[in-house]
């Protein structure tokens, strides 16, 4: 069974049963695990979904269910990168104080409103779905598109919009890294928001390793 938070209006079709929406906290998730006789829980949420990851660990322990996380390796800088790191969203907003810039805000739609505190910038937004109401930013361009995106396309995008700073979360993995390669190619600075620390848990970075873990009978209560 796949469980989605419901952030995307039209998720891609899957060959497995799918549920959408929250569980009602730790108690609700633990009850769901017991009711559906779940034996293995895989936390494959976004690396920044700290609350659900913490709830998953607690609910799995409460229900006596084995848990492992499928997570993406963090991005690390290579030659040519011009990266600065900030610890969280609030620090990212504060770090944008100063003269007006053209900022590609690659954070999705959830956190855009926080950047109204720095109204001097012109922001480039890229959402999977069109927002139900316009962002409150005074200066922005909005693109509605679904990835994965490629390097050549992101280079064209950044050039067309005159971007001089890329701001994104350190989500990791390969599906969203084209923008970082594009920024490196264009010698643009990048501001990366660091991940929140995960709860203690078993972690894997590939689906194959998770399948091996399931196949070999993971101990309950991991």
pLDDT, tens digit (0-9, with 9 covering 90-100), for 47-76 = 888 889 999 999 999 999 999 999 988 999
Q: What is residue 50's predicted lDDT score, i.e. its pLDDT? A: 85
In this prediction, residue 176 has a pLDDT band, given cuts at 50, 70 and 90, of confident
Q: pLDDT tens digit string along 181-211?
A: 999 999 999 999 999 988 899 999 999 999 9
Average pLDDT over the chain reads 91
Asked if residue 161 lies in contact with residue 124, where contact means CB atoms within 8 angstroms, the answer is yes
CATH architecture of 83-193: 3-Layer(aba) Sandwich (3.40)
Q: Are strands 140-144 and 190-193 parallel, antiparallel or unpaired?
A: unpaired
Least confident of 3-7, 39-43, 55-59: 3-7
Q: 101-155 pLDDT, tens per residue?
A: 999 999 888 889 999 999 999 999 999 888 888 999 999 999 998 878 999 999 9
Least confident window among 11-15, 76-80, 89-93, 100-104:
11-15
DSSP code per residue over 133-182: S--S-SSEEEEE--S---HHHHHHHHHHTT--EEEEE---SSTT-HHHHH
Per-domain boundaries in the chain: 2-71+198-215, 83-193
d(CA 105, CA 173): 19
Nearest to 7 by CA among 18, 22, 17: 22
Task: Please check the confidence at residue 221 and state whether its pLDDT lies above 50.
Answer: no
pLDDT band with cut points at 50, 70 and 90 for residue 216: confident
Global pTM reads: 0.80
Specify which residues 42 forms β-bridges with: 68
pLDDT in tens, 6-38: 766 677 888 888 888 889 999 999 999 999 999
Q: How far apart are CA 185 and CA 173, in angstroms?
A: 19
């Amino acid at each position: 069974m796949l469980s989605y938070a419901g952030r995307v209006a039209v998720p891609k079709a899957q060959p497995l049963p799918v549920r959408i929406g929250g569980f009602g906290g730790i108690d609700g998730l633990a009850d769901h695990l017991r009711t559906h006789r779940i034996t293995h829980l895989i936390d494959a949420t976004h690396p920044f979904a700290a609350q659900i990851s913490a709830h998953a660990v607690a609910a799995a322990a409460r229900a006596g269910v084995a848990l492992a996380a499928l997570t993406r390796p963090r991005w690390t800088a290579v030659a040519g990168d011009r990266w600065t790191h900030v610890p969280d969203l609030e620090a990212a907003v504060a770090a944008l104080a100063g003269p007006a810039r053209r900022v590609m805000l690659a954070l999705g739609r959830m956190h855009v409103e926080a950047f109204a505190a720095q109204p001097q910038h012109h922001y480039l937004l890229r959402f999977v779905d069109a927002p139900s109401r316009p962002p409150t930013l005074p200066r922005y361009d909005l693109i509605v598109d679904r990835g994965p995106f490629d390097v050549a396309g992101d280079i064209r995008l950044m050039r067309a919009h005159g971007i001089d700073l890329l701001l994104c979360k350190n989500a990791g993995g390969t599906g969203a890294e084209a923008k970082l390669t594009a920024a490196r190619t264009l010698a643009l600075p990048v501001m990366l928001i660091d991940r929140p620390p995960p709860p203690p848990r078993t972690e894997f970075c590939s689906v194959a390793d998770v399948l091996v873990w399931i196949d070999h009978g993971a101990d309950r209560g991991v």
